[in-house]
Amino acid sequence: MSKDYYEILGVAKTATEEDIKKAFRKKAHQYHPDKGGGDEAKFKEVNEAYQVLGNKDKRSQYDRFGSAYSNQAGGFGGFEGFGGQGFNINMDDLGDIFGGFGDMFGFGGSGRRKRSQRGADLEVGITIPFMEAVFGVEREISFAKTATCKTCAGSGAEPGSNPETCKTCHGQGKVNQVQQTMFGRIQMQTVCPTCHGEGKVISKPCKVCRGSGQQRENVTMKVKIPAGISNSEMIRLTGQGEAGEKGAPSGDLYIKVHVTPDKRFIRRGDDIISNISISFPDAALGTKIDIETVDGPVTLKIPEGTQSGKVFMLKDKGVPKLRGRGRGDHLVEVTVKTPTDLTRKEKQLLEELKNLK
Ligand SMILES: [Zn+2]
Ligand SMILES: [Zn+2]
């Protein structure tokens, strides 16, 4: 049965949107079944014609394919007619309601296929002594993580069986849902309730992971901690975190390094600082002192007349630079001890010294 929607509404093929709207209102008034002299069949026809011609896309499709289009009623993806339920709305608003309706419900827009989730990042702490942070170390760490199930290789299906195409959505991951509203039936797309959007269902779940495709695993691995790492710094191992869902990439593993302090050294960036105390005569006359560095003892020459608070630099005896080449320096801060609890002899000598000046 072929229908000419233009004829039904009584407009020319060249009619404007406004003409079509006007014609529809007029005809809808005329045939409304609640009115005396109304005609339900005609009313439905008018309504059907307006749904097509009142919509720019549908109208151009109709113009191209003609009445063949009316055979695939589902293809209009919207109303399926008024179906004879009670129908009471202000006829003057009719056109506007229909015009805006499709936009309001966003036909066909929802129901996106679900994407598998990337695994979570994982953080593991490790504590190392000061000297290992300076020169680097290889350490073994153990921790538990979510890994890909070894039995089913992450598919979640029992070995030998395969996930099957979902029968509810035929692998589309989404389904059309028809809803009753006061305006008639509306068709909407939603995520498939059977497969939750994956398009596949597991008929025989893997016995080890119960279909999740994942299992907890204790991992022991060696980690290279680079020379020069500082306290609280992180090492990132890409893809070593928790396994992703069903073949999605794993998260990253972060190793947080805690460095225990060393009584002998203070670290400031790549430099190391230590303090020494020297006697007043050594400061005045000069001396040589063995200084402990991270490379072992180094002899430092204290020149005569050294003041308290003076800083000497032992070049390149600091921490290797984590990013870049070379090393920091070792800075030695000198404190001159002022003598206390002097003996009589010492006091006498200091008095003599004082009087010489
Ligand atoms: Zn499994
Ligand atoms: Zn499905």
Q: Can you tell me the distance from the alpha carbon of 174 to that of 191, in angstroms, rounded to the nearest whole number?
A: 4
Question: Domain locations in the chain?
Answer: 5-105, 114-159+205-260, 164-201, 266-356
Nearest to 98 by CA among 156, 154, 48, 32: 48
179 alpha carbon, distance to own chain's centre? 35
Cα 203 to middle of ligand 2, angstroms: 13
Amino acid at 70: S
Residue 37 has pLDDT above 60, yes or no: yes
Cα 249 to middle of ligand 1, angstroms: 17
User: What local confidence, expressed as pLDDT, does residue 289 receive?
Assistant: 96
Nearest to 277 by CA among 260, 291, 267, 259: 291
User: What local confidence, expressed as pLDDT, does residue 356 receive?
Assistant: 87
pLDDT in tens, 198-248: 888 888 999 999 988 899 999 999 999 999 999 999 999 999 999 988 778
User: What local confidence, expressed as pLDDT, does residue 116 receive?
Assistant: 65
User: What local confidence, expressed as pLDDT, does residue 207 receive?
Assistant: 92
Cα 163 to middle of ligand 1, angstroms: 12
CATH class name, domain 114-159+205-260: mainly beta
User: What local confidence, expressed as pLDDT, does residue 67 receive?
Assistant: 55
Does the domain formed by 266-356 have CATH 2.60.120.260?
Answer: no
Cα 177 to middle of ligand 2, angstroms: 13
Judge whether 114-159+205-260 and 266-356 match in fold: yes
Q: 249 — phi, psi (to 5°)? A: -65, 155
Nearest to 59 by CA among 119, 99, 1, 117: 99
Cα 170 to middle of ligand 1, angstroms: 24
Q: Which ligand is nearest to the CA of 165?
A: 2
Q: Can you tell me the distance from the alpha carbon of 184 to that of 81, in angstroms, rounded to the nearest whole number?
A: 6
User: What local confidence, expressed as pLDDT, does residue 48 receive?
Assistant: 86
Cβ < 5 A residues, ion ligand 1: 149, 151-152, 206, 208-209
Structure token pair of residue 1? 């049965």
Cα 25 to middle of ligand 2, angstroms: 42
247 within 8 A of 116, measured Cβ to Cβ: yes
Cα 175 to middle of ligand 1, angstroms: 28
Strand partners for 330:
272, 314
Cα 213 to middle of ligand 2, angstroms: 18
116 within 8 A of 244, measured Cβ to Cβ: yes
Cα 175 to middle of ligand 2, angstroms: 8
Is residue 56 helix, strand or coil?
helix
CATH fold for domain 5-105: Helix Hairpins (1.10.287)
